[in-house]
Amino acid sequence: MYELTITGESGKTLTFNDIGGQFTIVEITGLNPPKANINKNSVSLMPGSRYNSSKILDREIKLAFAIEYEAEAGRLAVYDVLQTGRPVRLSYKSDLLDVYVDGYVWNILPAYFAQKQTVTVDILCTSPYFKSAQEIVNDLSAIVSMFSFPFASEAAGEIIFGQIDSLRSISVPNNGNVTCGLEIELFARGAITNPKIYNYTTGEFIGLNYSMQTGDLITISTENGHKTVTLLRNGVETNLFNALMEGVTWLQLPPEGAEFVFEIGSGTESNLSVSFRHNDLFEGV
């Protein structure tokens, strides 16, 4: 069983499934892994060529579907969702996957005079991978419960309900089949300096030469094409790209997952909370 939904810029949707409805899919291509450009050089006196690099190309999805009833009303409903050159989101849900891919409407071609009217839509996805619908969050700090209800106490002074326990390392899984970027959030519960995040296995790191104050939130995005470092302090956002340490790597999450640790230059480690956010990526469905 599957469900495929196209959501337009206005929020209106077209839904297709294997149960039936006003629209029925006739043919669809482009849900498979995208093509790649292979860069290579010919080598004299040797057979074949030498591989240099490769680049994944844009995803092109072509969807043809029939309007089962009320042809004109259905066609106009399609135009409400799909507009040439405008962004759309294609979501795919099955028993094993719940993913989406964003793209732009390239072409809309109705077959006006067919016995059963059909519409063919071309969608170009400049970011070719399917993303998991659910964002995965992993924290390098945790709230540890100190008691459970019901309880009675005659203790004087404050009663501790729980405490924040800063973990030294955390394993972040990747259930997709493509290396993906991360969104790393650094929240300061007290003053600290020079936060630094390591990949425990490779030794690669990303860090900042910066003094964080209580309440500061720094967000680092390592997603390809969207690499940013921003500080949120008292409701004001500031670009901290120039505060990056020398020799940093924009940490990625490989399909086998990774283990991360952090350190600080000065301050108390428990004053820094680190969160990792990502969406699993898939080449095809």
The C-alpha atoms of residue 129 and residue 132 are separated, in whole angstroms, by 10
Give the model confidence (pLDDT) of 63-114 as tens digits: 999 998 888 999 999 999 999 999 999 999 999 999 999 999 999 999 988 8
Give the model confidence (pLDDT) of 225-243 as tens digits: 899 999 999 999 999 999 9
Region 4-21 average pLDDT: 89
Q: How confident is the model at residue 140 (pLDDT cuts 50, 70, 90)?
A: confident
3-state DSSP assignment of residue 74: helix
What does the pLDDT read at residue 166? 53
Average pLDDT of every residue of the chain = 89
What does the pLDDT read at residue 195? 96
| End-to-end CA, the chain | 13
Q: Give the predicted TM-score (pTM) of the model.
A: 0.84
Region 179-188 average pLDDT: 96
Q: How confident is the model at residue 164 (pLDDT cuts 50, 70, 90)?
A: very low
What does the pLDDT read at residue 158? 56
β-pair type (169-172, 49-56):
unpaired
Best-predicted range by mean pLDDT among 18-22, 155-159, 172-176? 172-176
Q: How confident is the model at residue 162 (pLDDT cuts 50, 70, 90)?
A: very low
Q: Which residues pair with 95 in a beta bridge?
A: none
The C-alpha atoms of residue 199 and residue 9 are separated, in whole angstroms, by 38
Q: Tokens 């000065």 sit at which residue?
A: 266
What does the pLDDT read at residue 151? 54
Region 149-168 average pLDDT: 54
Residues found in the chain: 285
**Percent over 70 (pLDDT), the chain:** 90
Sign of CA dihedral 265, 270, 271, 276: positive
Q: How confident is the model at residue 149 (pLDDT cuts 50, 70, 90)?
A: low
- Catalogue all structural domains in the chain, each as residue range(s) with its CATH number: 2-128 (2.40.30.200), 136-282 (2.60.120.860)
What does the pLDDT read at residue 145? 47
181 Cβ partners below 8 Å, 6+ apart? Answer: 221, 222, 223, 224, 226, 227, 250, 252, 253, 278
